[in-house]
Amino acid sequence: MESPIIRTENLSAYYGDFRALNSITIAFPQNKVTAVLGPSGCGKSTFIRCLNRMHEIVEGARVEGKVLLRDRNIYEMEPTLVRRKIGMVFQKPNPFPTMTIYDNVIAGYKLNGIKLKKSQADEIVEESLRKAALWDEVKDHLHKRGTFLSGGQQQRLCIARALAMRPEVLLLDEPTSALDPVATSRIEELIEELKETVTIILVTHNIGQASRVSDFTAFFYLGELVEFGPTQSLFTVPKDKRTEEYLIGKFG
Amino acid sequence: MKGLKWRLAKDRLFRGLVYLLSLLSISPLIIILLYIFKRGLKVINWSFLTHLPKPVGVEGGGVANAIVGTIILVFIAVLISTPLGIWAGLYLSEKRRGLFPEVVRVAVDILQAIPSIVVGIIAYLWVVKPMGRFSALSGGIALSIMMLPMVVRSTEEVLKLIPPYIKEASLALGVPYWRTVLKVIIPAGLPGILSGVLLGISRVAGETAPLLFTAFGNQFMNWNILKPVNALPLLIFNYAMSPYEEWKRLAWGASALLIIMVLTVNIISRLAGRRWKVQL
């Protein structure tokens, strides 16, 4: 396998006494799309929230084990720095309601108090919106509120906002589950394009989506990593019985 | 068919009853407004707004000193209760469970239930006694204590309505928690917070009891917050009890004026909540 950019070693996650993830060891290859697949409640969202230290913002939540970004344990780094290097897009589009489209894209800089020259900011906004395939639709309304966009556009705006920080890894937590089929396929096309510049980890419970967009698939079930491998072989010749049963629709 | 007719009749009966009772419950307000405006509006004119009260027996005169006094008192109350109340409300909305937040919540509710006259006595003991005189400052402090629980609870309620995913969006960009609070959460709740503050103002602007031993009242114009000031409710209280027709007339005018001010602030607060509502 290609060199991993981010990997975990015996990663377990807890909510209070409840263990949501059980000793996960996995390595994500650079500039690939890896799907984290599994039925609801299997711990897949918890898992990617551990990768940018968003898990710990829930009261009573804690993590054991290591997450290594280019061989540095992110649990020994400043959480705010980790989150700038590892961007995240959520299930429900969540642009900042008080900000314009323009300000939403550079929100990561503005909210962190990082000063940008006007020309720099313009450049980042255009580049990020182009990468998120939103530029042509919004270039004439950059100074309108982001919440006036459609759901699919809002989600691409959130992707642009994450890309503006130039992250090394982009975590997508069921980014299309709140969107209609047309908006979903646009996001899926976008994911294909984005892997040129950023490593993508995509959480989904949609088997079709995982097979369409991912290079690798990790199947999670009841807090455990059941199987991990190239999407094509995992989908055609799953090694584990549970993977096979999920793929043919016996549960989930 | 008979069953249907009977049901429709019952429907009309209950509908009529609901309208009637709704009308009954707003009738006190309408009657008060009509009565006070009938007696008071004709008193209000330019000299009423700009002149000082005249001595007994002299025609005319106005309540300019009470208007200025009320504005000063409310200003002090807002200055104290807004920052305190917003921080406490923010704390309560962020920290929903736990012993201390619960204690704060109960304490704020109890504070709201304390009779206003008691608040006046407390302000007297805390401020008037040590300073050795009545003052606008002590009156403003008394009103701020009245206002504080309203600001706290309305801020808490407004901020609780902000969806948690907005906060997550900010944290996920590597924005520290305190910046997230200042730059994302508070701005998103600002219209609601503002409307809570305005409702608080309209509530305390008409308070009389807390001012009796604090602002005390003053026949003259005073801009110094360390000296006693007059206030519209105090003036109404004093003049309405006086035996002089002219003073009673002024009290009616002051009542109408106070109600107009309170209604205006109230309506602005509603509009503020709606017009600048942040679409979430």
Strand pairing report for A86-89 and A33-37: unpaired
pLDDT, position B222 = 92
Helix or strand holding residue A220 (H, E)? strand A216-221
pLDDT at residue A180 tops 70: yes
Contact B280/A at CB under 8 A: yes
* Residue A44, CA atoms < 13 Å, CB-side half-sphere: 27
Q: How many domains does chain B have?
A: 1
Which CATH number covers residue B102? 1.10.3720.10
CA nearest to A112 within chain B = B175
Decide if B2 is inside a domain: no
Nearest to A54 among B166, B171, B279 (CB): B171
Largest CA distance in chain B: 82
At A146, is the pLDDT very low, low, confident or very high (cuts 50, 70, 90)?
Answer: confident
Chain A closest CA to B244's CA: distance in Å?
56
pLDDT at residue B178 tops 90: yes
Decide if B18 is inside a domain: no
Contact B4/A at CB under 8 A: no
Structural domain spans, chain A: 4-247
Query: Rounded mean pLDDT of A48-75?
Result: 93
Contact A112 B278 (CB under 8 A): no
What domain range includes position B75? Answer: 47-275
Virtual CA dihedral for B84, B88, B89, B91, nearest 10 degrees?
A: 140
Residues B248 and B240 sit within 8 Å (Cβ to Cβ): yes
Inter-axis angle of helices B64-94 and B99-113, nearest 10 = 160
pLDDT, position B58 = 83
User: ipTM for the complex?
Assistant: 0.91
Decide if B22 is inside a domain: no
Query: Rounded mean pLDDT of B124-152?
Result: 96
Chain A closest CA to B55's CA: distance in Å?
55
Virtual CA dihedral for A151, A156, A159, A161, nearest 10 degrees?
A: -90
Chain A closest CA to B114's CA: distance in Å?
35
A160-188 core/surface letters (b: 16 or more CB in 10 A; e: else)? bbbbbbebbbbbbbbbbebbeeebbebbb
DSSP string, B166-199: HHHHHHHTT--HHHHIIIIIHHHHHHHHHHHHHH
In 3-state terms, what secondary structure has residue A176? coil
Mean pLDDT (chain B) is 92
Share of chain B above pLDDT 70, in %: 98
Nearest to B173 among A108, A145, A147 (CB): A108
CA B76 → CA A111, A137, B156, distances in Å? 32, 50, 22
Decide if B169 is inside a domain: yes
Chain B closest CA to A167's CA: distance in Å?
10
Q: Which residues of B touch A162 (CB under 8 A)?
A: 172-173
Chain B closest CA to A246's CA: distance in Å?
30
Rounded to whole angstroms, the Cα distance separating A99 from A144 reads 8
Decide if B20 is inside a domain: no
pLDDT at residue B275 tops 90: no
Rounded to whole angstroms, the Cα distance separating A37 from A210 reads 7
pLDDT at residue A3 tops 80: no
Contact B170/A at CB under 8 A: yes
At A2, is the pLDDT very low, low, confident or very high (cuts 50, 70, 90)?
Answer: low
pLDDT, position B2 = 74
Decide if B21 is inside a domain: no
pLDDT in tens, A150-175: 999 999 999 999 999 999 999 999 99
In sequence order, the 6+-apart residues with CB closer than 8 A to the CB of A243 are A219, A226, A227, A234
Q: Is the pTM of this model over 0.90?
A: no
Contact B191/A at CB under 8 A: no
Rounded to whole angstroms, the Cα distance separating B21 from B17 reads 6
Q: Which residues of B touch A90 (CB under 8 A)?
A: 165, 168-169, 172
Could you tell me how many residues make up chain A? 252
Of residues A18, A16, A88, the one with CA closest to residue A50: A88
Virtual CA dihedral for B129, B131, B135, B140, nearest 10 degrees?
A: -80
Q: Which residues of B touch A79 (CB under 8 A)?
A: 174
pLDDT at residue B278 tops 70: no
pLDDT in tens, B101-117: 999 999 999 999 999 99
pLDDT, position A23 = 94
Query: Rounded mean pLDDT of A217-225?
Result: 95
Residue with tokens 């993977």: A243
Query: Rounded mean pLDDT of A6-29?
Result: 94
CA B236 → CA A144, B110, B258, B259, distances in Å? 50, 29, 10, 12
Q: Which CATH architecture group holds A4-247?
A: 3-Layer(aba) Sandwich (3.40)
Q: Which residues of B touch A145 (CB under 8 A)?
A: 279
Rounded to whole angstroms, the Cα distance separating A31 from A200 reads 7
Mean pLDDT (chain A) is 93
pLDDT, position B113 = 94
Rounded to whole angstroms, the Cα distance separating A252 from A243 reads 11
Contact B176 A80 (CB under 8 A): yes
Decide if B215 is inside a domain: yes
pLDDT at residue A84 tops 90: yes
Query: Rounded mean pLDDT of B170-184?
Result: 95
Contact B25/A at CB under 8 A: no
CA nearest to B98 within chain A = A59
In angstroms and rounded to an integer, the radius of gyration of the C-alpha atoms of chain B is: 23
Query: Rounded mean pLDDT of B141-145?
Result: 97
Rounded to whole angstroms, the Cα distance separating A4 from B115 reads 67
pLDDT, position B277 = 64
pLDDT in tens, A183-208: 999 999 999 999 999 999 999 989 99
CA nearest to A48 within chain B = B172
Rounded to whole angstroms, the Cα distance separating B22 from B31 reads 15
Query: Rounded mean pLDDT of A90-116?
Result: 94
In 3-state terms, what secondary structure has residue A24? strand
Decide if B15 is inside a domain: no
pLDDT at residue A1 tops 60: no
